[in-house]
A = this chain, B = another copy of it.
Amino acid sequence: MADGRWPGIMPIDISARFSFSLHDPCDVLLQFEAAAIPEQTILSCDCQMSEAIHLARIPAQDNIGQRIWLRSEGLYEVDYRARVQVNRMLADLSELERLEPHDLPGEAVQYLFDSRYCPADRFQPFVEAEFGHLTGGPRMVAMRDWVAQNFSYVPGSSDATTTAMDSFVERRGICRDYAHVMITLARASAVPARFVSCYAPGVTPQDFHAVAEVFLADPSIPGGGAWHILDATAMADPAQTVKIGVGRDAADVSFMTTFGAAQFEDKTVAVTAPD
């Protein structure tokens, strides 16, 4: 994993195709495009979508990326291709300190709280016992490594009701579950943590991916802080991770949410980085 460096020129090629069928006219919320944010440059982008009754783009959470509101009927197909260059500054997390809670800016505070899949409050005794000797970045890295070491990546072992508490007990899950546990442990340490849906090469099997992001002190700005990616699955390199959107947890950044009877038909994701 890369640390303390600017990544070089690293265009990532993304292809995502999926389709679904809507029996009756029905609303759908989509969020699958690489976000246009300073830390990543959309070099090129082509998004083919079936014709819809209604289509509108709205800003997504924390103004990272966009959500697409759709109203349509019958078969709907999305074919998205993009080339993205990641400009993300990668810090050496083991050298970063935490911000004291009372120094956290307003926009980070919501990421301290319990969310649907991350009941962090209940994990305080465990976190204190297991990681109490560490603080800030080193604690976050230790948590990531603890999850990596103690969990098994088992496709199909979780579903839409699986919380970080379930995963913590069962010691297994997929990327969303790894991210939920990492977020939960961080918040139980009073470190803001959010869920990032993303594209990354190296994800096996190739699919939409999810990682955690934690908010730590920025040594270059007194009193300032910055978000840092942590992937407990170790499949994604933060230097090659293309963000789609962020949220409190998976409940906020599903790539597709339907408001009516829908049948999912097909999905193919391919993400590659030139060697």
Contacts and interface: CB of A to CB of B under 8 A. Distances in A.
Interface of A: 27, 29, 54, 56, 58-61, 67, 69-71, 100-106, 109-110, 113-116, 118-119, 121-123, 125-126, 129, 150, 152, 159-161, 165-166, 168-172, 190, 247-248, 251-252, 259
Contact of A125 (B29, B171, B251, B252): B171
**Copy total for this chain:** 4
Determine which residue in A71, A106, A116, A125 has the highest number of CB atoms from chain B within 10 A of its CB, and name it. Answer: A116
A132 B114 CA distance: 31
Main secondary structure of the interface of A (DSSP, over half): mixed
Contacts of A54: 102
A101 B169 contact: no
A122 to B, nearest CB: 5
A242 B38 CA distance: 40
A29 B101 contact: yes
5 contacts: A101-B259, A115-B116, A116-B118, A121-B160, A122-B170
B169 A123 contact: yes
A208 to B, nearest CB: 17
Contacts of A118: 116
Contacts of A172: 125
Given A69-B104, A70-B102, A126-B170, 13 more contacts: A29-B101, A54-B102, A56-B102, A61-B110, A69-B102, A116-B116, A122-B161, A122-B166, A123-B169, A125-B152, A125-B170, A159-B159, A169-B169
A165 B122 CA distance: 11
A67 B106 contact: yes
Contacts of A115: 115-116, 248, 251
Contacts of A129: 150, 171
A252 B110 contact: yes
Contacts of A259: 101, 190
Contacts of A60: 106
